Every structure is written in structure tokens, then in C-alpha cells.
Chain A
Amino acid sequence: MLKAYKITYLSPTSPVRSFTIFGAICWSYKLIHGEKKLKEFLSEFKENQKFLISSAFPYVKDKFLFPKPILPIKGDSADFKVKIQRKDYKKARFITLEVLKEVIDGNIRYEEDFVKFKSSSGIIQSENDDLKIEQKRHTQVRNMINRITNASENLFSIESDFKVYDEYFLVYFIDTGFENEFQRLIKLAEEIGFGGKKSIGWGRVEINNLDPEPLKELIDLNADKFITLSPIIPTERINPGESYYDIETFKSYTENTFEEEKLKKKVLYIKEGSVLRKKDTIMSGQLKEVENGIYQYGLEFPIGVKYV
């Protein structure tokens, strides 16, 4: 069962990706049930996933945006006019549902095919759409008050991008019985804050339910060809020769709200928007134990497509 959640940003935040959300959920779980129960939950989850989580993407004027799928380029065989136009499309980061459907159906199979839509504000969208994503630079000044002299010391400022638009993320419940628990965990995560730098006021978010109806048909756990909406820690089930993907290495700190943070081991991710082919229909990502008892989330959130 598919659920959609809207995030409204009330302060600067670090990027909200599937593993950020999963991390927040785990912290809530640990706070409510204790460390031992969390360990049990994670080792169970490693084998039998209760749910899948997507990263957060813009939700603008009641429209869901998706990461731009990574498609092959025609290159030299594309016509000259299209080649000139390519730059704008290359820079775009998101597409609308309408454009996504064309990709799913195979009407768009190359990067150059996007030119039948317009590209503006980093979004590939139809002529009638006028979607924009806006960020504002925000400066926070930090200091420490000297208890004796009452003077400000160590004055410094932190710059950040403040998202003016909302975002959404999706959760697909494989175990539908877990939905109520998830609701409680996400509510607690919202109270505590999302992502990094919470101690300086980052991560204030408001999370509300959204109607997932328009997206219901898109999610296909059994598809062997798919676009992922979450970064994947790959297993050998992915067929790299028949896939189009971007990779990144990621090194993160553990949650530091309650304990001293630890640097986690580096993991390799296939980025959101990658178009992948699996060798079978079994889950191709993994929940990876990066250190004893510390896991990194890396399962796919698959949108089935006709071609790769």
C-alpha cells in the first residue's frame, strides 16, 4: 500500500533522502522501544522489508515532481537543433508526472527526447505548466555568551539554503500492519527534527498526509526495469551493462541528537533517477550493515518502465 507525505520546511534542513528518513524512523524506534528492540527490528528488516521509502522531491502547486531519469544520449546522431537545445535539458533536475509517464511508456527513451517538453527552473514540464522551485539564502549568526562578562564570544555565521517550496516522500508498506507504527514514528521524528544540525535549529519540518492516488499505478515492486526514487546500495542483482545510472560515495555521521556522533563507513550509492535493469524480480538494493549494529538504508523505490 502506497502512502504519500508532504514536508513543509520551517527552517533550513540538510537534504532529505530515503536514508535520512529511515535514520529518523530508527531513532524514533529506539527512543520508544529501546536499543535492543531496534536491533531486532533492523535484523528482521534486513531480510523481510516492512516498507520502502523514497527520497524527498519537490511538491509544487499540488504537483509531484520526480528526479529526471538518467537516459542514454543519441549524441552525434541527434539533429543539430536538438543538440543545441540539449544544455537546458541536461541541467534540469526534475520532471513532472506527465513527463514521467512518457518515459514509462517508452515515448521518451533518450535525453534528447525531452525537448518535446519545455525546461525551465530546472524542471522539464509541459508548455502550460509554470512550475518553479525557489530557495532563499539564509544567514544565521551564532555566538556564545560569556557567563561572566555577558559578552558575545566566538561570533560566526552559517549560511544555508531555505526551501521555499514543499517536498513529498513516498512510503510503500509491504507489511500493511506497520502503517500505524510508522505514523507514530514519523510524528516523533517531526518533533525532534529532521536531518543534521538540529542543535542550531535546522530540521524543523511539518509533515502531513497527501493523497497518493495519482502515483498508485507507478510503483511496481516486481518490475525488472525501473527508475528508482531512492538511492540504492547495489547488490549483484543489478545488471550494470543494461542500466543507466549515476553513482556517489557517501559518508555520513550517525544521528547526534542524543549521543556523540560517529562517522559511518563509506558506502556506494546508485543515485535517485537511475534507470536500472535487474537480473530477476527480487529486491536489488540492501539495508547494509556498515559497522557492528549500524545500518545504512539502500533499498530501491521502483517505478516500473517499459524500456531500459
Chain B
Amino acid sequence: MSKALKGIIKIECKIRVLTGLHIGGSKENVEIGGIDNIVIKVPVLKLDEAIERDVPYIPGSSIKGKMRALLEWVEKPEGSMQVIALENKGEPCNCGRCRVCKLFGAHKNAKTEEPVRLRVEDFYPTEKTIDMWKKFLDGDFVEVKVENTIDRIKGTALHPRHQERVIPFSEFTGFIKIRVHEGDRKELFDTIIRGIQLLEDDYLGGSGSRGYGKVKFIKEKILWTDYRKQPFEEKTVDENEIANIYGA
């Protein structure tokens, strides 16, 4: 790894949940009669004044994983005509040189000289959202939906499934961080923006085919920290300045 780091671009985002969101927190049904699908929760969330416990959040790894999977349907590995998803028969790219590998890292420790550029932080609910949950969900943070399969002949419900979900209009905040190394080009930043758009057109979390997980990313601001400067300098930039950062 020889390419020096110039700095880090941080996109401060809000994720607005448009249709109930389910990001699973348990591998199997916990107990018979329990909730089948549990939403992932952070044990402790420190807010300005208070501490809340077992609060739903969106893990950065879920966002990153989904974004990568979607990008692999549009991005091609180095020297290939076919998109990564088809080229690799459903497995993530491991060429170590394409935009996806540069941003997300090559899959399965393939030999690469490229540093990983992307870090997606966990997204936590805003205080306003927590207040909304408390108000609408009787002090709970999630809604429990009972989903039935109807027996077509008898007209009765079979095997009701209990599903926890984060309700629409909930908002989560967090950072998408992109490291800019010497020699990097703005196309890496653009790829992330494209990944965000693809994610908005698809869904996050489980049960997407049943309409869950529609989200919208709202870019609040973009921060640029230049680590070549001493003392380092962090400033707000607009999207037009990104090209200058990459030195296009």
C-alpha cells in the first residue's frame, strides 16, 4: 500500500424510512410463540441528555452490503464486458482493481494493493424519531405486525408470523465516509452516489418483495478533512468542490 491518504470525505445523511423497515436481529425464532423476526437493536444509545436502551438502528454493514450487491449489477470487473454479478455467478467481486473493489475491498482476501476507501457507519434514530415512536407505539420503538397466510379453502388464518418493523417516517442519521488517496479519481465518489440511488430504487433489509424497506437518503452536508494539512482542516464542501478534492 503506497498511495498516501489525502483526506476523508464524510457525507452526513439522513435515511428516511418510507415503508416499514425490517433489518433482522436474530438468526432463528427465539422461542415458540415469540416474535419470529426481530429488528436489530443497539443495546445503548446515548443521546444529548438521555440514554435509551434497545433502540432499533440500521447497521452500516447492511447499507454497505446492499449497496455493493446493487452496484455489482452495473459495474464491471477490470477487463471484462460483463457486469460483476453475472461474471462472478452471484459472488462479490475479488478482482482487487475495479471501482467496487477499490471502494469496498476485494472479497475473500484476494491479493490487492488497494486500500479500502469506504466506511459506512451505523445509522441511529434521531431524537425526534424516538419521540414519535414513543408517542405512536405506546412506549415501544417497533411495531409488531402479524402476517397471516390465508387457508384458501377454509378461509382461516394459518401460521401467523409476527414481524417487528420500524414504522414509516422514522429517520436515522449517520455518516458515509470515503477516503481519498493520492491518484484517486472522482468516479469513486460518483460510484457511491450511484449506489445510494440504486438503494433508493431497491430496498433495505428483509421482505423487500412484500414492499418493505423503501428508504430515502437525504444528504445533509458533505465534510472534507484534509489530513495533509497540519493542523488538519475540516470544512463543509458542496458537491461541485468534490472534483477539486480529487484533483480532476
Residues of A bordering B, CB below 8 Å: 8, 10-11, 31-35, 136-150, 155-157, 162, 164, 180-181, 183-184, 187-188, 191-193, 198-201, 204, 257-260
Contacts and interface: CB of A to CB of B under 8 A. Distances in A.
B43 interface: yes
Interface stretch (B11-19, B59-67, B129-137, B159-167): B59-67
Contacts of B122: 10-11, 201, 204
A184 B230 contact: yes
15 contacts: A11-B122, A34-B4, A137-B43, A139-B25, A141-B24, A141-B27, A146-B91, A147-B84, A148-B90, A188-B227, A191-B10, A191-B225, A199-B105, A199-B116, A258-B1
Interface string B22-45: 001111000000000000101110
Interface residues of B, number: 46
Contacts, number: 104
A141 B89 contact: no
A148 B25 contact: no
Nearest to A192: B119
Contacts of A146: 90-91
Contact of A139 (B26, B91, B111): B26
Contacts of A188: 5, 8, 227, 232
Interface of B: 1-2, 4-5, 8, 10, 24-27, 40, 42-44, 46, 59-61, 65-66, 69, 72-73, 84-86, 88-92, 105, 109, 111, 115-116, 119, 121-122, 177, 225, 227-228, 230-232
Contact of B91 (A147, A155, A260): A147
Contacts of A258: 1, 115-116
Decide if the interface of chain A is mainly helix, strand, loop or mixed: mixed
Contact of B65 (A34, A145, A184): A145
Nearest to B59: A201
Contacts of B27: 141, 155-157
Given A157-B27, A162-B44, A181-B230, A144 B92 contact: yes
Contacts of A136: 43-44
Nearest to B65: A145
A17 to B, nearest CB: 23
A142 B73 CA distance: 21
Contacts of A11: 122
B24 A32 contact: no
Contact of B43 (A34, A147, A155, A162): A162
Contact of A164 (B4, B43, B111, B116): B43
B231 A149 contact: no
Given A34-B2, A144-B65, A191 B8 contact: yes
Nearest to A31: B5
B90 A191 contact: no
Question: Nearest 3 pairs between A and B by C-beta?
Answer: A136-B43, A147-B85, A31-B5
Given A136-B43, A144-B92, A147-B90, A180 B61 contact: no
Contacts of A260: 109, 111
A148 to B, nearest CB: 4
B159 to A, nearest CB: 21
